Every structure is written in C-alpha cells, then in structure tokens.
Amino acid sequence: MKIAFDARSWEQPPHSLRRVLGLLVYTAQTMGWDFELWNTGPLQPEFAAFAPHSRPWAEARRVTDAAVCWSPDFPALALPMPVVATIHDINPLLPDRRPALARAWRAFRFRRKAAAALAAARRVVTSSQDARGRLAAEFPAYAAKLAVVPYFVDPALRRPAKAGRDAALDRLGLQPGYILFFASLRRHKNWDGLMRAYARLPEPIRREHPLVLAGSFRRVENEVRQLAAELNIGPHLRLPGSIPEDSVAALYAGAFLFVFPSFMEGFGLPPLEAMACEVPVIATNQTSVPEILGEAPLYIDPYDTDSLTAAIARAAQDGALRARLVEAGLRRVAEFTPQHTGAAMLRVLTSLG
C-alpha cells in the first residue's frame, strides 16, 4: 500500500507539524512502506533528500497510485481516496486565560474546522488515549472514526558529545547548566507561571541556573520582558528564540533541568525528547502528559506556583533525585519506537477497507 503524505508543512518554517510529519515519514521508511509527499511549493532545504518522493499536489491528486492520503493536520480534504486526518488535541475548547469573547471565537473556529475534518476523513487519528477520549466526548457522532497513533523521539535526537554541544550552545548564546523551557510561548504552555515560580527560587539557584525560554516568542515579547522586569529576573532570563533543528539536541543536553508546566497537551513530545537527551524532567500532571511520561518525571500541578517552585528547588538540590529521573526517563523513551508507531498506523490503514 502506497501512502501519500500531505507534506505542505515541510514547505514552512519550523513548526510542530513539521516534526510530526517527519516522524510519520520516518515510520514509513522503517516499516518499508512505499510513500510519496504531496506539496504545493518547494520543500525547505533540510528536506532535500526527500525530493524524489515529492509530487505537486494538483498533479498528484489527479494521477496517483497511492491508496490513502495521510495528513499531520486536519484539513477537510476532498480526494479520490480515503483520507486519514490528525487532530492533535482539543486545547481550543479547554479553559485558558483568554478573554471570554476571544475564547468563544477560538472555540467556534476549532469546532467548525474539526467537524468538517471528521466528516470528510475516513479515519481521524490523535496521539494519546486522553486526547481521543476528549475528542469522542466533544464529537460523539464521530467517535468510531477516532484512533490513537502515538509518537516517538527521533532516534537521531540523542545527547551529543560535549564539544559539539558546547559549540552549538555558543552559537545560541548559551552556557550549559540552565533550567529549560522549550516550546512556543503560547498561553496554555504556562511560560508565565514558570517565570513566577522561578522568581521565588533562592537567589543562589537562580544565579547558578539561568532560566531559558526557548521557542518562538514574537507575539508575547513585550509581555515576557515586562513580566521579567516586574519579577526582577531579567539578569537570569535567556530568550534564544526559535531553535534550528541541528541545535535542538544540544539545547536539551545543555539543560540542568527541563520544566514542562503546560496546562494542556495532546501528547507532550518535548519532555520525552529531553529525557532522550538524558535531562531530568519536571512535568505537568494535566491531560495526556502522565499517560505518556508514566513514572519518569517529577510531577507538578501547573496551577500551583508554589509547588512548581518547590519541585525545581528540590531537583536542583538533590543530585540523587536528578540521576533517578534521568534513568527513568531513558527507560520511558525506550517504550516509544517507530515500530510501535508503525503498528498503530498499520491498524488504521487496514481498517480503511
């Protein structure tokens, strides 16, 4: 069976959909499946090796021997073959700190787009049982279409040698030993809660371990800098922005601790990636994250700033705890493999009839 992957995310700058597509394609290669990539423009340079698999979307949808089109997103595609769409989570429907009108408009747009995709697709996948259950509760008429396909950490994303790590960090303007947050600075990621928790740490910990908020912060730059000034943590805060793919492993490996205080997630890949790079993880106890990370991290309630501060302080001061978290993290990462993902994908593909 040949799979056509919707590869339009590989035309765009770095984004979570690009990483998801990369994992799906890697899985197809690992499983020995035939596949092609449908795109509307040139792929980003880092994907040049996949050019032989690339086909213009307009041409491919008319003339193809692919049996299915698999999208890492959830557009309502009308195609002459079954479509597998992906809805990663229902975060736009969950409470956040947006004004009521903005929250209602966001929820309305999500419901409209999700309902269209659920109606058009033969199957819709998500990455955790938690996310599947929430989708089924919100869209019960389509519950039978839902399936779970979990992700894994790219096998190339492992702790680099010290020299390579330090060279990459130098290019980012960083030194090893920081407390790391790595995600786009969006409201549900609770980056501001982390800043408030960090500000309550003892000064010696902050002096020795700066806080790095890595990821796109263009929309909230003023808020970040204003909050840093209010909390008086500006000298300890680092904002490297979006991280090049070839520096991601070094970014993780340079961390003293990785903190993931999100309010809501469909899967939670960054803490699993940090674990693969042998970094102790402090993680939220909300939505899908405990399902994915198991007993590997030190859990916190993201709504309780004091508990987050206490967890960071405890991990910072307890080397034996950090070592246990690293060992548990590596064991957990080993449970998520391309073969595991491939088996889940195969169950979806064989169910298409």
In the chain the domains, ranked by start, together with CATH numbers, are 2-152+337-350 (3.40.50.2000), 162-333 (3.40.50.2000)
Give CA–CA dist 125/121, Å, rounded: 10
* 9 alpha carbon, distance to own chain's centre: 15
Q: What is the pLDDT of residue 218?
A: 83
What is the residue whose two structure tokens read 């993931």? 260
Residues contacting 310, CB < 8 A, separation 6+: none
Report the C-alpha dihedral over residues 41, 43, 45, 48, rounded to 10 degrees: -130
pLDDT per residue, tens digit, the chain (353 aa), is 899 999 999 998 878 889 999 999 999 999 999 999 999 999 999 899 999 999 999 898 888 899 999 999 998 888 989 999 999 999 898 887 778 888 899 999 999 999 999 999 999 999 999 999 999 999 999 999 999 999 999 999 999 999 999 999 999 999 999 999 999 898 899 999 999 999 999 999 999 999 999 998 888 899 999 999 999 999 999 999 999 989 999 999 999 999 999 999 999 999 999 999 999 999 999 999 999 999 999 999 999 999 999 999 999 999 999 999 999 999 999 999 999 999 999 999 999 97
- Phi-psi category of 281—alpha, beta or left, where left has phi over 0 and alpha has psi -120 to 50? beta
Give CA–CA dist 286/316, Å, rounded: 23
Contact indicator for 176, 254 with CB cutoff of 8 Å: yes
Tell me how far CA of residue 59 lies from CA of 6, 79, 89, 262, 335, in angstroms. 13, 12, 32, 41, 40
What is the residue whose two structure tokens read 């957990």? 332
Q: What is the pLDDT of residue 265?
A: 94
Residues contacting 239, CB < 8 A, separation 6+: 212, 213, 214, 217, 221, 224
Contact indicator for 76, 58 with CB cutoff of 8 Å: no
Q: What is the pLDDT of residue 136?
A: 97
Give CA–CA dist 95/268, Å, rounded: 18
